[in-house]
Amino acid sequence: MKIGVLGGGQLAQMIARAGLPMGLEFVFLDPASDACAGRYGHLVVADWKAAVDDPVLAACDRITCDFENVPAATLEALGRKVPVRPGPRAFEAAQDRLGEKELLASIGVPLPPHAAVSTRPDLLAAVERIGLPAVLKTRRLGYDGKGQRVLRDVEDLEPAWAALGGHELILEGFVDYQHECAITVVRAASGELRFYPLSWTVHDEGILSLAIAPAPVSSALEQSARSHVQALVEVLDYVGCLTLELFVKDGELLANEFAPRVHNSAHWTIEGSRTSQFENHLRALCDWPLGETGPRGHSLMINWIGSLPRVDRLLSVPGLALHDYGKAARPGRKLGHATLSAESVSELRRSADAVKPLLDPQTASLLSTEMAGLV
């Protein structure tokens, strides 16, 4: 079977790494000729719109995405030739922060306060209703903290409006959460579901910095996350892996957003579960049996953003598995990740201590806080 992937970044790369040993072949479509997945298959250098008419993609058995902003219309058109999994509906919902929230609300998933903002008077009314601090975001095309402004007091309104006004926006109430977390589920076309354990996630300036799994949460909280994400994939009749990001506030969950694809918060599943999210995404796409999603010990994932430490220093950390994506270094760019695996929390703590000198001070401090909270 041949899998076409729209987008040739690290997610596509890890999908291919999981799929090649299962006998799958890969085609990637990406606008960049140096797309890092390219070495794992055939790379078609083209923009998203060209995907619809690309003969190489049309000859694939399944199509999937490593990027959530592929236009839903493109997926719709491709889907008339080749099964596209997950399908356009999930992308359509995830691409519009307002539509996403309306969908989540419609299936009973609790959400932070939010309001649509198209005009300046909308903004003032929304601030009036929701209060400050709040976050003003573009409804479309924002990711990794791009296209958003935090409003702490009224003086922040004008510069935020100057930066973002003119786009369709959404104001989201600032959630005074104790933790962020994420749950990844894989769903087969048959409706079969398997949940990965919840991950603690830690963001820095809107970009995922750390993930710890399994998150040390009550079974009631885990169950609540599962039922939210289950309702979501069922209403979307979703096939593949999906991640729902959530806030934990006073022991309750509030949904943040979801990603209709494999997700950074579940990269730890490569070493930390018997079947990685990448393998299970492909198993679902190909109508193959889903694999086990239980944890193997305790995992800590660290993103390398902008630069990678020296490989010999990284490999001196016990239990560390390195994933260098082979991308050219650029400030703010995700260049790789590492997963620290351990049999116990105390062993994980020792590995975390060993990796700390390799982190920038901000990440090291976030890691210390997380590890202190781990039981």
Residue ranges binding a copy of itself (CB under 8 A): 17, 20-23, 39-40, 271, 274, 283, 286-289, 291-292, 296-297, 308, 311-312, 315-316, 318-319, 321-324, 326, 336, 341
Q: What are phi and psi of 280, to 5 degrees?
A: -70, -35
**Toward a copy of itself, which CB reaches closer, 147 or 336?**
336
* DSSP calls for 203-218: EETTEEEEEEES----
Provide the minimum distance between the beta carbon of 135 and a copy of itself in the complex, in angstroms, as a whole number.
Answer: 35
Provide the minimum distance between the beta carbon of 311 and a copy of itself in the complex, in angstroms, as a whole number.
Answer: 6
* Spatial distance between the Cα atoms of 367 and 356, rounded to a whole number of angstroms: 8
**Toward a copy of itself, which CB reaches closer, 160 or 308?**
308
**Toward a copy of itself, which CB reaches closer, 114 or 337?**
337
Provide the minimum distance between the beta carbon of 313 and a copy of itself in the complex, in angstroms, as a whole number.
Answer: 9
Tokens of 20: 């090649």
Cis upstream peptide for 86 (omega within 30°): yes
Alpha-carbon Rg of the chain, whole angstroms?
20
**Toward a copy of itself, which CB reaches closer, 248 or 286?**
286
* Spatial distance between the Cα atoms of 364 and 370, rounded to a whole number of angstroms: 10
Provide the minimum distance between the beta carbon of 52 and a copy of itself in the complex, in angstroms, as a whole number.
Answer: 27
Provide the minimum distance between the beta carbon of 299 and a copy of itself in the complex, in angstroms, as a whole number.
Answer: 12
Say which residue the tokens 């590995």 belong to.
351
The phi-psi region of residue 281 (left if phi > 0; otherwise alpha if psi is between -120 and 50; otherwise beta) is alpha
**Toward a copy of itself, which CB reaches closer, 206 or 326?**
326
* Spatial distance between the Cα atoms of 11 and 168, rounded to a whole number of angstroms: 29
